[in-house]
Amino acid sequence: MIDFQRDFCAAGGYSDRFAGLDWVRPIIEPARRLLEAARNAGHFVVHTREGYAPDLSDCSPNKLQRSRNAGSEIGTTGPMGRLLIRGEHGHDIIDELKPIAGEVVIDKASFGAFCGTNLESILRSRNIDTLVFAGVTADVCVHTTLREAYDRWFKCYYVADAISCFDSEIRRACEKMISEEGGIWGVLTTVDEMTQSWKA
């Protein structure tokens, strides 16, 4: 469950400032159904949050400038606190998809969830070799994490109706990239297909 944070999914957050929320609202319910099905099937669930230190010491100058160019500068103050700053209200996961006891939350100062975190060791310690992806944003944090995972030999499922980004054309391209060359980045699937496979 990648970056289902208030700053990306709720009014007044980082994404809402420059892209609105029409792109993300439709995937919240499918993502909730996927999450509940995974829990019911006894699968290990990982949530990720993108965020930075209050002094921005772990946010690169290029990333900060890019957010400034987009009109939603990391670290500036919004109605849920400073945008994408760890510990702020906006940094946390939305209530609909909130982690429960036993689920891991990975905080990352990066787009990819494997970069600078202990995610791989957590997965290896549980002998996990298959990952199912839902989240935001398709072209940035989801695809980056999926590609990191694939290069680490994890089998990846990309749940298209529980993944979105600001631009519908980019979203479609992200889905198309998964299945190119016989499934170069994994398996393109849906919430219904995934949940049915867990019931089988």
pLDDT tens digits, 125-175: 999 999 999 999 999 999 999 999 999 999 999 999 999 999 999 999 999
Confidence grade of residue 199 (pLDDT, cut at 50, 70, 90): confident
**Other CB atoms closer than 10 Å to residue 13's CB: what's the count?**
25
**Over 90: is that where the pLDDT of 200 sits?**
no
pLDDT tens digits, 120-134: 999 999 999 999 999
- Whole-number Å distance between alpha carbons of 183 and 195: 20
The residues annotated with a catalytic role in the active site are 3, 108, 141
Cβ–Cβ < 8 Å for 185, 144: no
Q: Which domains does the chain have, with CATH numbers?
A: 6-199 (3.40.50.850)
